Chains A and B, each alone.
Chain A
């Protein structure tokens, strides 16, 4: 296996993304190591091929944003909006993630081994997000589809105005947002969760999680719900 190393101090973000996006020659199946990330923004964003990218160090905003197929690992912490609008493929953050991790993601898997800040999984549309630690307030706000799995605790207003996404939390939930309710964890849910945890490389006993989702009371405007809008 050949691994190509790209030093961001020398190459810069523009050249890195052009290379990883396959604009400088074929990249499918290749492995890359990116050094000197130094909190730079939009690293490894907009990838379209099955590439493997390891970024050494902390990254800024929107790392791996809107990727398809690629497998990106951040060996460090990630800034706002890591894996935002992810279409497919995988993104792993070995440290913590800032706010809006996985925002509006439509597919693929985001794993945050540490904790994630506020608005994790906001308006998610099909992505699976697995967080080893805890998540901040207003997470899964208006979440439409996909699964948000939290091995630690969840902050206030979890799942506010949630649509059809599913949330699994092993620890404490500070409070649930409007229209988000606890639901029964069926054997089928538990086995799906077990598989997802395994895929994310997290050990966790699925049966210890609680499941949350939409009560579907805000789906159509009703006078009685006016205070919740």
Chain B
């Protein structure tokens, strides 16, 4: 009679856990992969907008203005960044991304009047030329760090951490470290390149304040200085970044994408974007600098409603990584046999670490890269950003707002107790905010 028993799902050892144990036993090393957390998390999907009705009146969808512009960095910088939309492209390194992908992101962002960002590995002239507004990252590795690039950037982002790996350093596996990438990073080609998790010349908020001062001195106090943190102890980190003199704080939730990180980091370190936004806003309000020090939120932003909800909770702008890569065709159903060769399929791929990206986004292989036409892909990025913007405006108008920044927590209700607790908005149909009332 064996085999006639109904099979019970094995909660402790689901198939992915079993196969990871087998993989670990074979390879003796953690699993390194790209993209963000795959586990289910409380997200913006757990919030809904309370559109206007009798008690509030909406704006006419196609007639009345709903502005989307945002100024970043007016706190200390003499040349703040002016963006037409509150949606920016997150820092992704040349090396992780192909040069064509970087160029396409620059073209798409520029067409929409928004910014793009360099990454670990330095600035390429292709991305500088393609990007009207370019944010230059200062990372712990300092790969390719160049004061001339600081001076030709429009803003500076000191990266303390990323949502995918708060407290962790970076890695770029040898198959992606081509001659050009290696040369930019002053490393031998083909090695597995590690990036440090701490900056080489500062630790802690008091040092950071002096580091920011130095960056400002080198760039004549012109450029806004952002500080980027992975979401963990967000309230403290944001407060300390403000104290250190940041013009803007970037908070990256645990869903945030990566090019290559240990899976335990991606899935098990950090807090989701949803509570992180609220904590960051609380910290800014407590210091009296909300809207004066801009809050840029990232990690799992996919739709115009995600954007609108982040803004309603108090963010000034959002930043997108994986979704922008998807606009470039990441995970699109093309070149199926190449996904198969990686042991994956469109819709399930997170193989950026291999350098064999089937659609030419995260690769340094010239043949694969040629699959991504920067002009065409740039238009796709523009279209995608344009859609997000229109969706966000539609929701804002429905809530009666003439600027997307006028959205507020009062416009939201939560569908789950978890989301209500994390976002501190009432559970739908109640006045109940867990922990408050």
Residues of A bordering B, CB below 8 Å: 13-14, 17-18, 21, 23, 41-42, 45-46, 48, 60-62, 65-68, 80-81, 84-85, 87, 99-100, 103-104, 106, 119, 122-123, 125-126, 141-142, 144-145, 161, 163-164, 219-221, 223, 226
Contact = CB atoms under 8 A, between A and B. Distances in A.
B21 interface: no
B211 A62 contact: yes
Given A62-B201, A122-B200, 4 more contacts: A42-B217, A61-B214, A62-B211, A164-B187
A142 B145 CA distance: 15
B147 A87 contact: yes
Contacts of A144: 185-187
A163 B27 CA distance: 25
B80 interface: no
Task: For the complex of A and B, list the 10 residue pairs with the smallest distance between their C-beta atoms, beginning with the closest.
Answer: A46-B218, A81-B201, A223-B28, A104-B142, A66-B147, A219-B191, A100-B201, A42-B214, A103-B200, A62-B214
Contacts of B200: 84, 100, 103-104, 119, 122-123, 141
A126 B145 CA distance: 12
A22 to B, nearest CB: 11
A78 to B, nearest CB: 12
A122 B201 CA distance: 8
Interface of B: 27-29, 141-142, 145-147, 150, 173-174, 185-188, 190-192, 194, 196, 200-202, 207, 210-211, 213-214, 217-221
Given A103-B201, A223-B28, A226-B29, A125 B210 contact: no
A23 B219 CA distance: 11
20 contacts: A14-B217, A42-B210, A48-B147, A62-B201, A62-B214, A65-B218, A66-B218, A67-B147, A80-B202, A80-B210, A84-B201, A100-B200, A106-B145, A122-B200, A123-B142, A126-B186, A161-B194, A219-B174, A220-B191, A221-B192
A125 B112 CA distance: 37
B214 A45 contact: yes
A81 B211 CA distance: 10
A17 B216 CA distance: 11
Nearest to B196: A142
B165 to A, nearest CB: 15
A18 B213 CA distance: 14
Contacts of B145: 85, 104, 106
B360 to A, nearest CB: 25
Contacts of A17: 217
Contacts of A104: 142, 145, 200-201
A42 B213 contact: yes
Given A100-B200, A144-B187, A223 B27 contact: yes
A145 B186 contact: yes
A197 to B, nearest CB: 24
Contacts of B194: 142, 161
Given A62-B201, A226-B29, A220 B192 contact: yes
A86 to B, nearest CB: 10
A161 B186 CA distance: 15
B420 to A, nearest CB: 42
Contacts of B146: 87, 106
B202 A219 contact: no
B142 A81 contact: no
A18 B147 contact: no
Contacts of A61: 201, 207, 210-211, 214
Contact of A23 (B29, B185, B210, B220): B220
B218 A123 contact: no
A83 B145 CA distance: 14
B188 A219 contact: yes
A99 B187 CA distance: 24
Contacts of B211: 61-62
Contacts of B221: 14
Contacts of A84: 200-201
A163 B185 CA distance: 12
Q: Which of A68, A81, A99, A164 has the most CB of B within 10 A?
A: A81
B176 to A, nearest CB: 13
Contacts of A163: 187-188, 191
